[in-house]
Chains A and B, each alone.
Chain A
Amino acid sequence: MAEKAKTAEEIAKEKRQKELAKELQATKERLRYSKRQIASVVDLNKCIGCQTCSIACKTLWTDDEGRDYMWWNTVNTQPGSGTPKDWEKMGGGYKVRFEGKVREPIKGKLPTRDEFGEAWKFNYEEVHKGSSQTTYLKPIGKEPEWGMNWDEDQGGGVFPNAFYFYLPRICNHCTYPTCLDACPRNAIYKRQEDGIVVVDEKRCKGYRFCIEACPYKKIYFNRKDVLGQKCIFCYPRIEKGVAPACARQCPARVRWVGWLDDVQGPVHKLVKKWKVALPLHPEYGTEPNVFYVPPLAPPRLDTTGKIDILKPRIPLRYLEYLFGPEAGKALTTLKAEMAKRRNGQPSELTEILIAKDWKGMFKPFDKDPLSLTWTRGKKG
């Protein structure tokens, strides 16, 4: 049977829907556009899992009601379930096709509060001032079953080849943020001046599509204010030439911050020149702007207890799962440059990674925040 001819109304409707799709695409492209991109590199070989970054962030941004359960910065032991629990199994992100010309959104799960962990309080009063000799430090109220960094130092592997490392995470300020694409209110955009992804709280209505769509599960729902909230890369500090708190407070000199296109800067050198800093889960298709130097580890011991230098303790397969197919190459480059240095030859790469020049890690965002005047912004 011949296909039924379309009515004039149906043709007009289809035409209009195409126009709407085009308009939507143009709007999202405008919101995604930035003149420059700020980026960060995290060296997992140096992270000691001390959570100073997490606390620096928390005291600055998320210590009030509604945000108290949020950790815009998390540090988790890998391998592990992460924050929120099992976030890597929650979907979201894009299926990238035709070399990036098409990005098809993938359905994601909305994590529960339990998967993030509630903001429990400890019984400090009771422990420090109470008369009981038998009490101990414990959460008040309902016994929590999960929280940020709950599976600390459990890691993977079997003795004597057990292994773990720490993975600090913030919002990736992606080049193709699925959160931005998901928002039906156009409340999420990349700041034109630096590519930082922010939620416009005057437009956000707390619909939570962004939380579903973000494959890194780095957006939190504020139940009190009915808003989606996330890491803002400390943009009020960036605007004054100060690095984000997580980076500047890091005692292990793990994080670099700078313009991705600054060819003289360490971020560009680590990501683009030496190619040792890789995005987390590049297969999610969002093009993160936080990059990681994958961890080297001591060699494995064989069954007789002897060192087997041919086998890495952290399986390459696992690092490739996290950082994509370039992980092996990055490790090879790192090892080669470390060998050069051991042989007394100069190595730009190891010079950067050692980070003797602390301020140089943040240029041009290397101002001391104490040298500036800060005022508290108006809420809302």
Chain B
Amino acid sequence: MIAEKVNYSKDVLLDPNCPHWVKFKGEKMKLSATPLANQPSEYIKATRDEKKVGKVKEVMVRAAHNGKEVFFHMEWLDAEKNLEITANDVFPDGASILFPIKPVTGKETEPPIDEMGKKDLPVNAWQWRSDLKEAQNTWAEGLGTTSWSEKCSITARSQWKDGVWKLVFARPLTVKENNPKKPESVQLAVGKTVKTGISIWEGSNGERAGLKAFSKEWKDLTLAK
């Protein structure tokens, strides 16, 4: 996937309906159920059916950057929007984009995408949830280890209309680390290629935590010069 080089401002591209987005080629990414055997909970493993997990099967992803910030536009079908937790059994919709935090130079430095990374191979997820006002920066070093910071530089705008979610993530290419020894964010640069993956949570299907649809394999993403 290529993140196209553009001259639009953040405000323009953050609009999920910005007409420029459809001009970019983008990529339809196939999503699968997360493997039940990898769920970090014996209860979830024993009580869920993998066939019913991962309701969203496909997501259209488009990427762009303006030299300072990078943007991801995601679009997927969802007949039933879940915006707020209005009852105990209501779960919000959600989406995230995942990156290895350290540069990947080969198979051995590639964090396992179906395990949310592992020790010394951390991953960074930019997360959006329909019930939260702000996007979250999260990182993990394996199943069940996801942590998040109070504040982050990620912005998200979303819109649900006529059975379609449209979501835009924006973030500066580089961000300051809270603890340089334990980085919590991916650092991007023009001309550089990184690995990326997508997750979608369908709230109406009870999806939350590791119960979600995800891209089983990393995709290359290059920020065009």
Assuming the A-B contacts A208-B88, A223-B85, are A182 and B37 also in contact, with contact meaning beta carbons closer than 8 angstroms in the complex?
Answer: no
- B54-98 vs A, CB cutoff 8 Å, 1 = contact: the mask equals 000000000000000000000000000000010111000000000
Q: Which of B47, B87, B145 contacts A105 (CB 8 A)?
A: B47
Residues on B lying within 8 angstroms of A by beta carbon are 35, 37-44, 46-47, 85, 87-89, 115, 131, 143-147, 208-210
Q: Which of B37, B46, B47, B147 contacts A21 (CB 8 A)?
A: B37
Q: Which of B35, B47, B88, B145 contacts A111 (CB 8 A)?
A: B88
| A 99-133 contacts with B by CB, 8 A | 104-107, 110-113
Q: Which of A112, A185, A211 contacts B146 (CB 8 A)?
A: A185
| A 189-225 contacts with B by CB, 8 A | 203, 205-209, 211-213, 221, 223
Closest to B136 in A: A205
> Inside 8 A of B37's CB, which chain A residues have their CB?
17, 20-21
How many A residues face the partner with a CB closer than 8 A?
33
- A10-41 vs B, CB cutoff 8 Å, 1 = contact: the mask equals 00000001001100100110000000000000
Assuming the A-B contacts A20-B38, A184-B210, A185-B209, are A209 and B44 also in contact, with contact meaning beta carbons closer than 8 angstroms in the complex?
Answer: yes
Closest to B147 in A: A203
- Closest approach, in angstroms, between the C-beta of B138 and any C-beta of chain A? 10
For residue A43, CB closer than 8 A to chain B, the reply is no
For residue A226, CB closer than 8 A to chain B, the reply is yes
A112 to B86, CA, bound (A): 11
The answer on a CB contact under 8 Å between A112 and B87 is yes
The answer on a CB contact under 8 Å between A209 and B38 is no
- Closest approach, in angstroms, between the C-beta of B105 and any C-beta of chain A? 21
- Closest approach, in angstroms, between the C-beta of A228 and any C-beta of chain B? 11
Q: Which of A110, A186, A208, A211 contacts B40 (CB 8 A)?
A: A186
A17 to B34, CA, bound (A): 13
Closest to A103 in B: B42
The answer on a CB contact under 8 Å between A24 and B42 is yes
- Closest approach, in angstroms, between the C-beta of B222 and any C-beta of chain A? 28
The residue in B35, B38, B88 that gathers the most chain A C-beta atoms within 10 A of its C-beta is B88
Q: Which of B46, B88, B115, B144 contacts A110 (CB 8 A)?
A: B88
Assuming the A-B contacts A107-B47, A184-B209, A185-B146, are A17 and B85 also in contact, with contact meaning beta carbons closer than 8 angstroms in the complex?
Answer: no
Q: Which of A17, A104, A113, A181 contacts B88 (CB 8 A)?
A: A113
A-B pairs, 6 with minimum CB distance: A182-B43, A107-B47, A105-B43, A17-B37, A184-B41, A184-B209
> Inside 8 A of B41's CB, which chain A residues have their CB?
24, 181-184, 209
A105 to B39, CA, bound (A): 14
The answer on a CB contact under 8 Å between B85 and A226 is yes
A186 to B42, CA, bound (A): 12
> Inside 8 A of B88's CB, which chain A residues have their CB?
110-113, 208, 211, 221
The answer on a CB contact under 8 Å between A110 and B210 is no
> What are 12 A-B pairs at a CB distance below 8 A?
A20-B37, A105-B43, A106-B47, A111-B88, A112-B87, A181-B41, A182-B41, A182-B42, A185-B40, A185-B144, A206-B85, A207-B208
- Closest approach, in angstroms, between the C-beta of A209 and any C-beta of chain B? 6
The answer on a CB contact under 8 Å between A178 and B43 is yes
Residues on A lying within 8 angstroms of B by beta carbon are 17, 20-21, 24, 27-28, 104-107, 110-113, 178, 181-186, 203, 205-209, 211-213, 221, 223, 226
Assuming the A-B contacts A17-B37, A20-B38, A184-B210, are A209 and B87 also in contact, with contact meaning beta carbons closer than 8 angstroms in the complex?
Answer: no
A106 to B44, CA, bound (A): 10
- Closest approach, in angstroms, between the C-beta of B127 and any C-beta of chain A? 10
> Inside 8 A of A113's CB, which chain B residues have their CB?
87-88
A221 to B87, CA, bound (A): 9
Q: Which of B38, B42, B43, B44 contacts A17 (CB 8 A)?
A: B38
> Inside 8 A of A212's CB, which chain B residues have their CB?
43, 47
A111 to B88, CA, bound (A): 7
> Inside 8 A of B210's CB, which chain A residues have their CB?
184
Q: Which of B35, B44, B147, B208 contacts A182 (CB 8 A)?
A: B44
Closest to B84 in A: A223
- Closest approach, in angstroms, between the C-beta of A217 and any C-beta of chain B? 11
Q: Which of B40, B46, B144, B209 contacts A104 (CB 8 A)?
A: B46
Closest to A104 in B: B46
Assuming the A-B contacts A205-B209, A207-B209, A223-B85, are A184 and B38 also in contact, with contact meaning beta carbons closer than 8 angstroms in the complex?
Answer: no
A111 to B87, CA, bound (A): 10
> Inside 8 A of A213's CB, which chain B residues have their CB?
43
> Inside 8 A of A24's CB, which chain B residues have their CB?
40-42, 143-144
Closest to B146 in A: A185
> Inside 8 A of A203's CB, which chain B residues have their CB?
147
The answer on a CB contact under 8 Å between A184 and B42 is no
Closest to A91 in B: B47
A182 to B47, CA, bound (A): 10
Closest to B131 in A: A226
A181 to B35, CA, bound (A): 18
The residue in B35, B38, B144, B208 that gathers the most chain A C-beta atoms within 10 A of its C-beta is B144
Closest to A186 in B: B144
- Closest approach, in angstroms, between the C-beta of B209 and any C-beta of chain A? 4
A257 to B144, CA, bound (A): 34
The answer on a CB contact under 8 Å between B46 and A184 is no
A212 to B208, CA, bound (A): 14
- Closest approach, in angstroms, between the C-beta of B94 and any C-beta of chain A? 11
A24 to B46, CA, bound (A): 14
The answer on a CB contact under 8 Å between A209 and B43 is yes
Closest to B115 in A: A20
The answer on a CB contact under 8 Å between A105 and B143 is no
